């Protein structure tokens, strides 16, 4: 089982460039989410989706767009990258909403983004 | 709202030492509590969980007990190994609506031989 696959693992952008971080899962999970991890800040939720066609904002959504056209894929788009978006990004999925102990998040290996 | 506070790191221990990483929480509703571990260069993975008061989660020699009276979920291990070096995250969710998982800031543990 591949689990949650994120690409690319590393990316360097210039300020103002756009890019998409890809996330795919092969576990038929309904819930998918994106977190960013910054030193001293822990993990903060950017956007999440409870199923195909449904997305919602998390704690830090500004500067990011998402879509969920299929159950398997949940790409994260940066339309105009800024240095403040330098971070490590994690995609995570679970069978249903992780609002109980029954639905545990499975994380990808992360994508390290640097914006110059 | 929901929040998690865990002890600041880094924590450096010698092999076979006793480990405690403190975690306290505030929550609206009835929380489920988790510890996740992140090994170097990897994503987070679930270490253990507890879904109701007085439950004890355990895995790989780690334990944590859900204490509702002190709103705590401290992580303990009796004898750490070098392979336990990682970042540990306490997290919670509640069973009220679209409640995402909320993480603490993480505690980095380094175990030296």
Question: Could you report the per-residue pLDDT of A13-53, keeping only the tens digit for each?
Answer: 999 999 999 999 999 999 999 999 998 888 999 999 999 99
A109 with B43: Cβ contact below 8 A: yes
H or E stretch covering A19: strand A19-25
pLDDT of A102 reads 74
Question: Minimal Cα distance from A4: which residue of B?
Answer: B43
| CA-based nearest distance B95→chain A, Å | 5
- Surface of B (88-107) touching A: CB under 8 A: 89, 93-101, 103-106
pLDDT of A97 reads 81
Average pLDDT over residues B78-102: 87
Q: Which residue has the tokens 């008061």?
A: B53
The residue length of chain A stands at: 116
pLDDT(B97) > 80: no
Average pLDDT over residues B29-34: 89
Q: Least CB-CB distance to B43: which of A45, A58, A90?
A: A90
| Total H helices, total E strands in chain B | 0, 12
Question: Minimal Cα distance from B93: which residue of A?
Answer: A99
Q: Which residue has the tokens 């969980």?
A: B49
The whole-angstrom distance between residue A2's C-alpha and the CA centroid of its chain comes to: 17
Q: Least CB-CB distance to A108: which of B43, B101, B104?
A: B43
How far is A103 from A94, CA to CA, in rounded Å? 6
Contacts of A45 in chain B (CB under 8 A): 100-101
pLDDT(B96) > 70: no
Mean pLDDT lowest for which of A110-114, B5-9, B97-101? B97-101
Q: What is the mean pLDDT of chain A?
A: 93
- Residues A61-76 have pLDDT tens digits of 999 999 999 999 999 9
Size of interface A-B (CB pairs under 8 A): 61
pLDDT(B34) > 90: yes
Q: What is the mean pLDDT of chain B?
A: 92
pLDDT of A24 reads 97
% residues pLDDT > 70 (chain B)? 96
How far is A114 from A19, CA to CA, in rounded Å? 12
- Chain A contact residues (CB < 8 Å to B): 4, 33, 35, 40-45, 48, 50, 56, 58, 90, 92, 97-101, 104-105, 107-110
Question: Minimal Cα distance from A33: which residue of B?
Answer: B100
């Amino acid at each position: 089982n591949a689990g949650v696959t994120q690409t690319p693992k590393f990316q360097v952008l210039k300020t103002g460039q756009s890019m998409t971080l890809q996330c795919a899962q092969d576990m038929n999970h309904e819930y998918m989410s994106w977190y960013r991890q910054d030193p001293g800040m822990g993990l903060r939720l950017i956007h999440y989706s409870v199923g195909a066609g449904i997305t919602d904002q998390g704690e830090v959504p500004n500067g990011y767009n998402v879509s969920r056209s299929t159950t398997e894929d949940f790409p994260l788009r940066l339309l105009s990258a800024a240095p403040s978006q330098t971070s490590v990004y994690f995609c995570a999925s679970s069978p249903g909403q992780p609002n109980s102990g029954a639905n545990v998040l499975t994380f990808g290996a992360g994508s390290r983004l640097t914006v110059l | 709202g929901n929040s998690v506070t865990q002890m600041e790191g880094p924590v450096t221990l010698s092999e076979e030492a006793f480990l405690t990483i403190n975690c306290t929480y505030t929550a609206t509703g009835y929380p489920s509590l988790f510890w996740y571990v992140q090994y170097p260069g990897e994503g987070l993975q679930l270490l253990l969980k507890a879904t109701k008061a007085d439950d004890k989660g355990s895995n790989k020699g780690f334990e944590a007990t859900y204490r509702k009276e002190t709103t705590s979920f401290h992580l303990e291990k009796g004898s750490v190994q070098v392979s336990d070096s990682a970042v540990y995250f306490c997290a919670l969710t509640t069973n009220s609506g679209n409640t995402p998982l909320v993480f603490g800031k993480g505690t980095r543990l380094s175990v030296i031989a």
